Amino acid sequence: MKIAGSEIKTIFLRVIFFYLLPVTFFIGCGSKDNPDPPPPPPVRNPVFIAATVNNSSLENTVYDVSLQPVIRVNFSEPLQPGTVAAAVSVADINGVSVAVSVTVENSDKSIVIQPTATLGHLKKYFIRVATSLLSSSGGQLQSQVSKNFITKIDSSRKFPVISDNALLDLVQQQTFKYFWDFAHPVSGLARERNTSGDIVTSGGSGFGIMTIPVGINRNFITRAQGLARMQTIVAFLKNTAVKVKGAFPHWLDGNTGAIVPFSTNDNGADLVETSYLVMGLLTARQYFNGVDAAETTLRNDINTLYNNVEWDWFRQGGQNVLYWHYSTDKGWIMNHQIRGWNECLVTYVLAASSTTHGIPAIVYNNGWAGNGTNGFINGNSYYGHQLPLGPSYGGPLFFAHYSFMGINPNGLTDAYANYATQVTNHSLINFKYCVANPKLWYGYSDSCWGLTASDISGGYTASSPTNDVSVIAPTAAISSMPYTPVESMKALKFFYYVLGDKLWKEYGFVDAFSLKDLWFANSFLAIDQGPMIVMIENYRTGLLWNLFTSCPEVKAGMLSLGFSAPYL
């Protein structure tokens, strides 16, 4: 049967409708009952916001932290709790890990860290959060978080409490071992420091010689032992040590007496170091005053050494000033004039006191004092104390110590100053600066003070209120004991009883320390150990003052320079 074209078209449309209608219906129904899922939330990286220890911000190092602290580290995003514990670590400065408990709070945006055991006193700890930390959305911490804090000082007494006199005896005796037990075995002189090998120091040896009368009077050694040591020292200086114009170099080889250059051009005489050595020798000469042959010979040999120093040569052609250095092969290349105010007063006193190579008063007035020009005269007040001489705030405290180990400042005046006022106010300014602590260094207090030249971490510097790098040197406060007995004794007790486990070693107190940086020197320096013994003794008995200023030459020399004192 033949079908017309119009009918074929109708049949085709019906078939299409029949088959597509269910599909259309299915699609339509599906779009209403099963909508497309929403896009996943964006991945957000956690960003460090802040950290605290015991509610104190850890933006900078926090000090004096308790031994069971609570540390919180805050982030911008909720964290995946399962990634927190592995990302957190706490360790001390040596990398030793600390066991901690770790939880999250604040809608999982904060990590709470608590040590499970008590931390150590006065130790630095680092808190770190590693980049393995993930947010709840899977984002990763982009930079490690690292913060640190320092725990509090252990204020317990490290040694049994003894009387003040017994403590002073102990400090003097222990420190004396540096010069007695550790002296160079050939020359008997003092090593520059405890790592110097055969290098001995002329100035530090002068300080060490001044400790011998103390050692004898305090029964650390016998008079015979002290005399024998002095005979060794003086014989070496007279017969073996290389001298230039009668003066000694800064450093010598303790075996051979050869000059050891202090620097490239400093390879000859050092007049200031020589003056410290001669101050010690004259002090010993006055102490060993027996009529027997041994002590008489010792005195005569010391006189020879003193008389041979050509103090006037160091005027460099007759100038009215002394020069610090002279070298046989380099001449006056150092060209360093000795002008005050600093540690060199005794250099001019001994030069003026010499009966063979003396200098007139004009050299003292024009050279040392600069005729009272600015830079020598001060007159300003600091922390309520007027400073007659020297730089602002007095400079490092060794200015008040080195020359005055032998020169008694009490009652001493000249045209420029009352010297008891000078050294006392210098010490008080140094003390009050540390108490005021304008740089906010951790640890400074009325029990922890004293800025002077000393070792520092990685070097050496002359610390003072105008060069304060957070380093305290025990010698600074202790050697000021004749001037500030209450403040100095308080510091000494703190160094010994509270910090003694870190400071008190085989030769007394180590050279210096910084509580801010938790740095403690392992060094001992002759020029820092000696003043402690000597100045404690001057505070107790005036022994070294009395010996040195009893020298007839010194009396005459000081009078010639215009000094006045009850002992002159």
| pLDDT bracket for residue 27 (50, 70, 90) | very low
For the four alpha carbons of 379, 380, 382 and 385, in that order, the dihedral sign comes to positive
**For the residues 8-34, what does the mean pLDDT come to?**
47
3-state DSSP of 197-248: CCEEEHHHHHHHHHHHHHHHHCCCCCHHHHHHHHHHHHHHHHHCCCCECCEC
pTM here is: 0.91
**For the residues 123-134, what does the mean pLDDT come to?**
97
| pLDDT bracket for residue 339 (50, 70, 90) | very high
Does any domain span residue 145? yes
Check whether residue 469 and residue 506 sit in a common domain: yes
The pLDDT tens digits of the residues spanning 196-235 come to 999 999 999 999 999 999 999 999 999 999 999 999 999 9
Does any domain span residue 419? yes
Q: How far apart are the C-alpha atoms of 324 and 399, rounded to whole Å?
A: 16
Instruction: Answer for the pair 462, 453: CB distance below 8 angstroms, yes or no.
Output: yes
Residue 567 clears pLDDT 60, i.e. is over it: yes
| pLDDT bracket for residue 7 (50, 70, 90) | low
Q: Average per-residue pLDDT in the chain?
A: 94
3-state secondary structure of 164: helix
Residue 29 clears pLDDT 70, i.e. is over it: no
Domain that holds residue 114: 48-151
Residue 3 clears pLDDT 70, i.e. is over it: no
Tell me, what's the pLDDT at 511? 98
User: Residue 134 belongs to a domain with what CATH number?
Assistant: 2.60.40.1220
Does any domain span residue 537? yes
| pLDDT bracket for residue 39 (50, 70, 90) | confident
Strands 71-75 and 259-260: unpaired
Percent of the chain predicted with pLDDT > 70: 94
Check whether residue 187 and residue 126 sit in a common domain: no
Check whether residue 114 and residue 222 sit in a common domain: no
Give the DSSP letter string of 144-161.
-EEEEEEEPP--S-SS--
Does any domain span residue 32? no
Cα–Cα distances in angstroms (integers) from residue 157 to residues 169, 224, 240, 333, 501, in the given order: 19, 38, 48, 53, 9
Check whether residue 141 and residue 212 sit in a common domain: no
The pLDDT tens digits of the residues spanning 504-558 come to 999 999 999 999 999 999 999 999 999 999 999 999 999 999 999 999 999 999 9
| pLDDT bracket for residue 373 (50, 70, 90) | confident
Does the N-terminal peptide bond of residue 341 adopt cis geometry, omega within 30 degrees of 0?
yes
The pLDDT tens digits of the residues spanning 449-488 come to 999 999 999 999 999 999 999 999 999 999 999 999 999 9
Q: How far apart are the C-alpha atoms of 254 and 260, rounded to whole Å?
A: 10
Q: How far apart are the C-alpha atoms of 319 and 312, rounded to whole Å?
A: 9
Check whether residue 468 and residue 368 sit in a common domain: yes
Q: In terms of C-beta density within 10 A (0-12 exposed, 13-18 middle, 19 or more buried), how is residue 501 classed?
A: middle
Check whether residue 129 and residue 195 sit in a common domain: no
Tell me, what's the pLDDT at 14? 53
Does any domain span residue 2? no
Q: Which of 151, 179, 212 is the C-terminal boundary of a domain? A: 151
Q: In terms of C-beta density within 10 A (0-12 exposed, 13-18 middle, 19 or more buried), how is residue 183 classed?
A: buried
Check whether residue 257 and residue 404 sit in a common domain: yes
Residue 31 clears pLDDT 70, i.e. is over it: no
